[in-house]
Amino acid sequence: MLAVRTAVNLSSVLKSSTNISPNKMKLCVLVVVGTLLVIINGMPPINRDYNTHCQCVQVESRIIPPDNLKSIKLVPEGPHCPETEVIAGLASGEKVCLNPRSSWVKKLVQFILEKQLHQQRGGVSKNKA
């Protein structure tokens, strides 16, 4: 008898909860869609240049001769990685992550930043003339 009474009570609860007016249903759908749009627009862009983690798993502290360096890429710290990353492209085509705390890497980064700053200032003064 108790099982029958419980079944009846559950069915009445289900019937009463499904009696939502069409206006309330539309409002719920709009709220859900609006929330999804806000979440999607707030997400960072995902493309091939955007990393969600550090690129450098292992770093090198050894000095690399300037003749072997082909390029230097500086990746600033951000949400993807808590540390600045310094990636050296070698003449052999290999890429090596350099230890940003190493003294010679600090000097190299400082040199690159000063060179970029000097080039920007030179470009600005040429444009003004």
Residue recorded with tokens 């808590």: 82
Model confidence at 20: pLDDT above 70:
yes
For residues 79 and 120, state if they share a domain.
Answer: yes
Q: How many CB atoms lie within 10 A of CB 56?
A: 19
- Is 117 a member of any domain? yes
| pLDDT tens readout for residues 22-57 | 888 888 888 888 888 878 777 665 555 555 688 888
**Domain with 108 in it:** 66-128
Q: For the chain, what is the domain count? A: 2
Kind plus residue range of the DSSP H or E element containing 111: helix 103-128
pTM: 0.53
Report yes or no on 25 lying in a domain: yes
| Ramachandran category for residue 93: left, alpha or beta (phi over 0 → left; psi -120 to 50 → alpha) | left
